[in-house]
Copies of this chain bind each other. A is one copy, B any other.
Amino acid sequence: MKLPRYIEIAKELEEKILNNTYKKNERLPAERILAEEYNVTRVTIRNAIEHLVLKGFLEKKVGSGNYVKKNTLNLNISEQLSFSEKSHFLKQTPRTDVIEFKEISGDAKLMEIFNCDSNEVFFFIKRVRYLDNTPVNLENTYLPKSLFPNLTKDIMKGSKYDFVEKTLSIKESYNKITPILPNEELSQLFNLTSCEPIFYKTSIGISKKDIPFEYSELYFNPNIYEFTFTSKR
């Protein structure tokens, strides 16, 4: 599995941001300098930097330089960051609790998503993620047992995608965000006082063989997550 050079460089730069070699709000070395350092052209460096801008690590300033984004307390729903990556960036301690782990048969919705009949069995896993003991989100995951026969509760205490990628290659996922009113369980978990709506994201994971391998529902704690973005021009 040979990764493009610009992805490798992006990972090395990310590591240097995480371990504070490049500090918050500081300017990165100029693109021409980095190109020399890594023995590539500026195009390759610019690809790596663009990658990190999309991940929310860097910010560009024309005529000035590329800067390490200052730490935002809130998590941003639109960023494509894994939970553990973000918590490392925020210097907070992550924890995942598996609330429920059971086998279920598919309802109409699952049968449609996974294009299967009613004999298919699914793992249903309900998890809550914490940062420094504050619940940040609640996730329901549905995984077909036929694809992941060896799944256990212990595995789901760790990274779901690390496990999934031992079995198959992920191609992409289809996501949809909807505003919903939290039920009693969510209100209590997130300590919501009034009747305030929250963000809810559904996600269908597709493997490189074009087979759906996952359906998940994610509920965001509105006190932690916000959804902001800056648009230019």
CB distance from A2 to the nearest CB of B (A): 15
CB distance from A160 to the nearest CB of B (A): 15
The answer to whether A176 and B230 have CB atoms under 8 Å apart is no
Alpha-carbon separation in the docked complex, A230 to B176 (Å): 9
Stretch at the interface among A97-105, A127-135, A139-147, A194-202: A194-202
The answer to whether B181 and A230 have CB atoms under 8 Å apart is no
The answer to whether B179 and A180 have CB atoms under 8 Å apart is yes
Interface residue tally for chain A (C-beta within 8 Å): 28
CB distance from A106 to the nearest CB of B (A): 23
Alpha-carbon separation in the docked complex, A101 to B148 (Å): 60
Q: Does A163 contact B (CB under 8 A)?
A: no
The answer to whether A226 and B176 have CB atoms under 8 Å apart is yes
Task: Return chain B residues, CB-CB under 8 Å to A231.
Answer: 80, 172-173, 175
Interface positions of A (Cβ within 8 A of B): 78, 80, 170-181, 195-199, 222, 226-233
